[in-house]
A and B are shown apart, each in its own frame.
Chain A
Amino acid sequence: MDKTLLREEIVPFIGQFSLLLVGSYVGDLVLHFLHLQWVGRWLGIPGSILIILSFLYSLRKRKIIKFGNPKFLLKMHETLTWVGSLLVLVHAGIHFNTILPWLATAGLMLNVLSGMVGQRLLHRSKVHLLEMEETYRLKGMSKTEIDQEIFWESVTYDLMTKWRVIHFPISLAFTVLALGHILTILMFWEWK
């Protein structure tokens, strides 16, 4: 196997995902050990808020909103979804009580995996587009203009377009399942 592929793609991918799983397990374990299970019950709320905030990038990308640096928003999208997912996973714990929340959790995991694949693909496309940067420079474009151009080129790269076809329905399914779970909670919660 190509050593560069292993070092730059596979190891970071597995490491990032494993960290998420181990972090969730340790988080839940600590809460149980400290008899603070009730904290886990509420962690779903900040987790969901972080995930919702990460959608700012999706809105920016689709030009629904026009503010914010796309590069920064993408970084935020990656970070907030990871941290939000960690909180939601601690919230889920290892409590198999009912089906719908677990479907939502499975949707979340799939979404995270898909997002991380996208992150790798983006990284790869950036490498391919480095050569283009040189071309733009020769054309006499400024540094900011080149960065913007390269960024949009990288996210619209053919591989990314194909990946998005998969990532979008997964995100949609997760969103609907999560909303279903939230709705039922709001419906049956003890409001006092």
Chain B
Amino acid sequence: MSRFVKTLIWLNLGILAALAINYAHLMISPGPVSKGHSEIQTDCFACHTPFVGATARKCITCHKVADIGLKTTKGKVIVKKDVKKKAVAFHQMLSQQNCTGCHTDHKGIAIYRNKYKFSHDLLEHKALEKCSSCHAKPKDKVHEMASEKCLTCHVQEKWKPATFKHENLTKAVLEKCTSCHKRPTDKLHKQVSPKCGLCHLTEKWKPATFKHELLPKVELEKCSNCHKLPTDRIHENASQKCGQCHKTEKWKPATFKHELLPRSELRQCMTCHMRSKPDDNLHRNSSDRCGNCHFTNKWKPAKGGAGSTSRPLSRSSGSFNTSPNNEQLPQWYLDERKKRLDRRRNN
């Protein structure tokens, strides 16, 4: 390489070095500085210490810690444009002075770091407990009764998801479920008390345990308010008092008492039992009144015999007031039978 070329190269590089030193903000600065620092953009060492970086000590020279958030570096009081927002001075509560932990400058390196990235770890322990000194408490229904200790439910990193513990509530508040939760509007819940805890747990809504005993007596008789009435043949003519046959614990087994039926219905056995009489020699010529031979508690044994089912029951079939199984017969049945016997006797 000729001496001329070498000289030319070194000359150019020398010029570049001179430019880098005198116009550092153009030659080496990674993009323009923020508006507030524009006055010192040509003086790199106003913020940087060679081979050390931008130290907090240099920042504090202009940004007095006691004034941060309250006054500008020129001593002017900071007034928030939005009057609803209060000026929050938390820099005074920082456990250590590490400005670059949150702040950065130079537009070019902004893509590498979040501007004003705040870390709660920098706060003093005392300040960490007073969330409301920086954050505004939500004004919604859920937070209305909540304490100032946000960390009971929320975490520092993010507001959601939050974990709520009912145990933290006072007994009085805990009983007012509807002050936070919306009451279901379905038929079942419309009439129940607002004390959700009687059936539901705080952990989850389902499964729920319902105790019929908790219902007032009047409501306890209105089963159909909550339950759907069966539409089958047996229940078609039944009253709405389900409790007469069924228990609140479970639907089956059910106990049916014929005595509860109105007299007119008691004779219409086939409304509930078999659609028609049994199609055998014995029953073909018998009357539709099953009770002439059979009893309500069970089909067998029956009194009478083949071809004799139309014969009225007599005293000889046992005690007049009891069935062959010594069950007490209903009064209306006895009356009916007495009338029938009297009529026969007169004839």
State the A residues within 8 Å of B (CB): 37-38, 41, 95, 97-101, 103, 165, 168-169, 172-173, 176-177, 180-181, 184, 186-192
Is the pair B1, A100 in contact by a Cβ cutoff of 8 Å?
no
CA separation between A172 and B16, bound complex, in Å?
14
Is the pair B100, A190 in contact by a Cβ cutoff of 8 Å?
yes
Which chain A positions have C-beta within 8 A of B5? 169
Is the pair A37, B28 in contact by a Cβ cutoff of 8 Å?
no
B108: contacting residue among A97, A165, A173, A188, CB under 8 A: A97
CA separation between A188 and B44, bound complex, in Å?
9
Stretch at the interface among B50-58, B72-80, B220-228, B267-275: B50-58
Interface string of B71-106 (1 = CB under 8 A from A): 000000000000000000000000000001000001
A190 CB to closest chain B CB, in angstroms?
4
Is the pair B16, A189 in contact by a Cβ cutoff of 8 Å?
no
A-B contact count (CB 8 A): 68
Is the pair A97, B16 in contact by a Cβ cutoff of 8 Å?
no
Can you name 9 A-B pairs with beta carbons within 8 Å? A37-B112, A97-B29, A100-B27, A103-B16, A165-B1, A169-B9, A176-B13, A180-B20, A181-B28
Interface residues of B in 106-124 (CB under 8 A from A): 106-108, 111-112
Which chain B positions have C-beta within 8 A of A190? 53-54, 100
CA separation between A176 and B11, bound complex, in Å?
12
Is the pair B29, A192 in contact by a Cβ cutoff of 8 Å?
no
Which chain A positions have C-beta within 8 A of B31? 97-98
A98: contacting residue among B1, B16, B28, CB under 8 A: B28
Is the pair B28, A184 in contact by a Cβ cutoff of 8 Å?
yes
Chain B, residue nearest A35 (CB): B111
Chain A, residue nearest B2 (CB): A165
Which chain B positions have C-beta within 8 A of A165? 1
Chain B interface size, under 10 / 10 to 19 / 20 to 34 / 35 or more: 20 to 34
Chain B, residue nearest A173 (CB): B9
Interface residues of B in 21-37 (CB under 8 A from A): 26-31
CA separation between A181 and B27, bound complex, in Å?
10
B112: contacting residue among A41, A98, A103, A169, CB under 8 A: A41
Is the pair B51, A98 in contact by a Cβ cutoff of 8 Å?
no
A176 CB to closest chain B CB, in angstroms?
5
Is the pair A189, B53 in contact by a Cβ cutoff of 8 Å?
yes
Chain A, residue nearest B53 (CB): A190
Is the pair A192, B53 in contact by a Cβ cutoff of 8 Å?
yes
A188: contacting residue among B9, B13, B28, CB under 8 A: B28
B184 CB to closest chain A CB, in angstroms?
43
B95 CB to closest chain A CB, in angstroms?
16
CA separation between A157 and B129, bound complex, in Å?
78
Which chain B positions have C-beta within 8 A of A176? 13, 16
Chain B, residue nearest A184 (CB): B28
CA separation between A62 and B192, bound complex, in Å?
97
Chain A, residue nearest B51 (CB): A187
With A97-B107, A191-B51, A191-B53 given, is the CB distance from A173 to B27 under 8 Å?
Answer: no
Verify if B17 is at the interface (C-beta below 8 Å from A).
yes
A29 CB to closest chain B CB, in angstroms?
14
Interface string of B31-66 (1 = CB under 8 A from A): 100000000000010001011111000000000000
Which chain B positions have C-beta within 8 A of A99? 19, 26-28
Which chain B positions have C-beta within 8 A of A173? 9, 12-13
Interface string of B250-288 (1 = CB under 8 A from A): 000000000000000000000000000000000000000
Which chain B positions have C-beta within 8 A of A187? 48, 50-51
With A97-B31, A99-B27 given, is the CB distance from A177 to B16 under 8 Å?
Answer: yes
Is the pair A188, B53 in contact by a Cβ cutoff of 8 Å?
yes
Chain A, residue nearest B31 (CB): A97
Chain B, residue nearest A165 (CB): B1
B16: contacting residue among A100, A168, A186, CB under 8 A: A100
With A98-B31, A173-B12, A190-B100 given, is the CB distance from A168 to B53 under 8 Å?
Answer: no
Is the pair A184, B111 in contact by a Cβ cutoff of 8 Å?
no
B1: contacting residue among A101, A168, A192, CB under 8 A: A168
Which chain A positions have C-beta within 8 A of B16? 100, 103, 176-177, 180
CA separation between A11 and B19, bound complex, in Å?
40
